[in-house]
Amino acid sequence: MIVLEYKLVAAAEQRRGMDEAIRTAQFVRNACLRYWMDSEKVGKNDIYKHTTKLRAEFEWAKKLNSTAVQAAGERAWASISRFYDNHKKGAATNVCGRKPVGYPKFKKNVRSVEYKQSGWKLDASTKRLTLTDGFKIGVMKLLGKWDLMLYRQEDIKRLRIVKRADGYYAQFLVDVERHFDLEPSGKTIGLDVGLKSFYTDSEGHEEPNPRFYRKAEQSLKKLQRQVSRKVKGSNNRKKAVARLGRKHLKVQRQRKDHAVKLARCVVMSNDVVAFEDLKVRNMIRNRKLSKSIQDASWREFRLWMEYFAKIMGKIAIPVNPAYTSQICSGCGVAVKKDLKTRTHVCGCGTVLDRDRNAAINILRGALRMVGHTKTAGETQETLVEMEEDQPKLASIAEARIPRL
């Protein structure tokens, strides 16, 4: 499944119609969630039946296409099922009489509505999208470089209308498989992410940290002050909020672009990529480092590495980062050091940068896991088949890991 995104050229009346459709989808999602809270033993089929009752009860809800109403109910069920899964894993626990962690919440600022294979028409040759439900949005032009003529209309399973700070976008979810046939590079690499440099690999290369948010922080503060000075509800405040939103959106896009390009380059250049299995959600609780950690966007970088590894036939392995910076990569002895100590010095004569030492340990830990764990969305059976190549990969890695 791939997503093709286009910007919509819409008139003011069409934008108002899309806003109304998004608000209707938000109402259906929240109403389904309330139905689940007030009832017992509610399943997915019960949610579908409730969406039908909502369309019969509220006349204005009929304007939204029936499949879009079903998709809104599916969003409610997705949050419910995710809560159930977390509860089974022990992640959702009741604290001090409050609702369990991860309990589904009502949405008050939904920015998208999703259609299935009805309620819209697409003219791929002229790049025109027509929404045919009761909001009378009509025909809109699509701006984008993707060629929709390459895919069949029946392969487009869903259409999502997304509202952002700089306009409205149409996302087409196309049911096709992506796969790249690449020649094996014979290389393995371990990555240790950080704040000083974005990552340090087992070869000693340091990728600089772009710090997009830090660079834009002064501009964001200025725009935020402009918002605070405007009268609430005024048009000038709305304009100031829009300017602030566009600036935040630019920073978000810069992070994504950096993560995608860097992850693609790393995966294409190596057969095995080992990285830290970090719990970023727990790490950002550190008030002194939370802003810098979120600015680095390690989570997004990891997700894109796993995605590219899957479609390129490579191996991406998350490794437990515990003690990787403390253990000597030369002799295996633990050398305790605090965060201020940036150089690893061991009695065996190994002197390395702290992050490079950790990257080497991460790579070795990953090579021991090849053929025994699930990585990058692969099934365990697929990785067992790769076990035959493990001695070759290990020998390559040992030859590339410095012995100092």
* Active site (catalytic) residues: 192, 276, 355
- Euclidean distance between CA atoms 279 and 129, whole angstroms: 41
In sequence order, the 6+-apart residues with CB closer than 8 A to the CB of 268 are: 182, 185, 308, 312
Distance CA 290, CA 338 (A): 19
d(CA 239, CA 62): 33
The tokens of 138 are what?
């009509």
Token pair, residue 44, equals 């997915």
Q: How many residues does the chain have?
A: 404
The edge-to-edge listing of strands for the beta sheet with 128-131 is 112-115, 156-164, 167-174, 2-9, 138-143, 128-131, 120-123
Contact 168, 7 (CB under 8 A): yes
What are the tokens at 153? Answer: 């209309």
Site of tokens 């700070």: 165
User: Cα-flanking dihedrals φ and ψ of residue 3, to 5°?
Assistant: -120, 125
CA-angle at 99, arms to 98 and 105, nearest 5°: 135
* Interatomic CA distance for residues 258 and 300, integer angstroms: 10
- Strands 272-276 and 315-319 come out as parallel
Number of neighbouring beta carbons within 10 Å of residue 107: 16
